[in-house]
Chains A and B, each alone.
Chain A
């Protein structure tokens, strides 16, 4: 509704624009609604059952929870002008480390603590290599991807490590007031991320560092330290994600969270985060994750192949970036060239 009334105004006076983030998020909500409608049309017998629909929404949210938490961290790194290709590997390392028999003997708190510490420490190493070692983020985190998966394979002896801890495994089955705990964790991380980005100095500094590091430095921001903190934050999110994923799979292994880095980057991008840094939203990133999770669900209930599903996902990423570009030049301008 808002877009409809606002459109002519935008055309008449180019200066006046709706808040870009709001428009984009409404667009993503629209995409989600369309996906749901396609689901309802193609499988009416499933969507006719209210219990199934409620269950399905929680399932989509639950399957988006771990990757959603990781995407929040990734969004911070991207806004800060970097990229973290090691998120999947950090999850694997944190997951494997927290499920060794030795760590499991410390109980659930020990496992959570280990996962978080491993995540933060690996993130710190990434940050220090990039800030003080002056490595390009792409290279530093790519190296970490390989190294962390290698260490995870070493620690696990290349085996799938089963989590025997009822409390950890219970995270995936617990519901509070009818809402799955995993979904609540995702919600908490998203709210915390939103507050951190939009209501704190840390958030404003992140945008400044990503937008123009030199200007940020001249304005008195310790850019190097801030960059280290951003990667540590991403690592922390991976630690949280590792516990969530371990709980869901009741196990951890070196190959877990395969290609999460790509999913997280893609979700952040279609949520409106610029790969070049300086701009992005947490809510948009969340919607990005939900779009992917809903597509997976839609293809599953229709028994369509995952190959087709991946092609559609790729198409959506391209479409999102194209739309992003159209926002800066009108369609007519594009055709004139």
Chain B
């Protein structure tokens, strides 16, 4: 090969690469699919009120769920003419988030919404904001101190496990199974949320006299899901049901199921991603249901932060203020109700 043609290949590669980089922002899942509440007809709270500056901080996104949290917060804030969102990147760890929040608190926003890296580590920072008279809305990861937040809005990890367990239990009971073989693929096992999900799952299965036969944790990524599922399928040559905690890693789990040519069982997902809901609707894989843990909570957090800032309550409640603790229910999405949830997929 002459030096000239070799150079041509190199430049060609560089050109292709540059082209790919330029168009890279058109990712597979466009960020425009945010979950926002727009239907506000006839709601007194919808009318523009006092201007509210909301500070927002969430960890740098490393997977789809966290990315959706930030996107949802931005999109929901854009719905209100009376809300100004001040967003700070929380960086990659709790220390970086503390530093970012210190700056944000210094700007005196009316309300502070944050998804902490770790509730325990950000507890003091939240207390400081509360003492400075800034109401704090905690998203999903609780602070140990009750005084550190005005509102806590979180998903229900234990309930998610319960929902998955009940769905699997009911399905297997209907089939007349007495000693079914049930597999479980959790996410990162050292996280408290994973342990809560697994505890809920085991508790629900126990009601039917069932238990988990094998459990292989993944890491919330598709490739780790593929590896965990491959190992699980190898360990259980015959399986009746499988719960995979996270739909993102579920892409890899479904790939592994296909690669192993297995179809004798049904699978339940977790979180409720758009891809998973589409797959359930099409009904051409083992994935028959998913239990939600929706990042739409970020949209709701912004709406509630606005109400807190304006001193308004929830219109259907008697109380004049927004409640202090809200735990979202985990819902089960199947083929029958998938259409209703399609817009909530992330």
Residues of chain A touching chain B, judged by Cβ–Cβ distance below 8 Å, are 46, 49, 52, 55-56, 59, 62-63, 97, 99-103, 106, 110, 113-114, 117-118, 121, 153-162, 169, 172-173, 245, 248-258, 296-297, 300-303, 305-307
Contact = CB atoms under 8 A, between A and B. Distances in A.
Contacts of A158: 61-64, 66-67
Most buried by B among A113, A248, A300, A306: A300
A256 B62 CA distance: 10
Contacts of A172: 255, 259
B179 to A, nearest CB: 15
B31 A59 contact: no
B63 A255 contact: yes
A289 to B, nearest CB: 14
A296 B29 CA distance: 33
Contacts of B17: 97, 114, 117-118, 121
B230 interface: yes
By Cβ-Cβ distance, the 9 closest A-B pairs, closest first, are: A300-B231, A102-B23, A157-B27, A158-B61, A158-B67, A249-B222, A250-B255, A249-B223, A155-B24
B26 interface: yes
Interface of B: 13-14, 16-17, 19-29, 31, 60-64, 66-67, 189, 213-217, 219-227, 230-232, 234-235, 237, 248, 251-252, 254-256, 258-259, 275
Contact of B16 (A101, A114, A169, A303): A114
A101 B26 contact: yes
Given A162-B275, A252-B222, 10 more contacts: A59-B234, A97-B24, A157-B31, A158-B62, A248-B259, A250-B254, A256-B221, A301-B231, A303-B213, A306-B217
Given A157-B67, A249-B251, A101 B222 contact: no
Nearest to A101: B26
A102 to B, nearest CB: 4
Contacts of B248: 160, 253
Contacts of A249: 221-223, 225-226, 251-252, 255
22 contacts: A46-B235, A46-B237, A99-B28, A100-B23, A110-B16, A117-B13, A155-B27, A159-B64, A160-B222, A161-B27, A172-B255, A250-B252, A253-B222, A253-B248, A255-B62, A255-B63, A255-B219, A256-B222, A300-B232, A300-B234, A301-B231, A306-B216
B24 A106 contact: no
A248 to B, nearest CB: 5
A161 B28 contact: yes
A159 B215 contact: no
Contacts, number: 156
B20 A100 contact: yes
Contact of A162 (B28, B61, B213): B28
Given A161-B28, A249-B226, A254 B20 contact: no
Contacts of A117: 13-14, 16-17
A110 B19 CA distance: 12
B62 A301 contact: no
A52 B237 contact: yes
Contact of B20 (A49, A56, A114, A252): A114
A74 B337 CA distance: 50
B259 A101 contact: no
A84 to B, nearest CB: 19
Most buried by A among B20, B225, B255: B20
Contacts of A252: 222
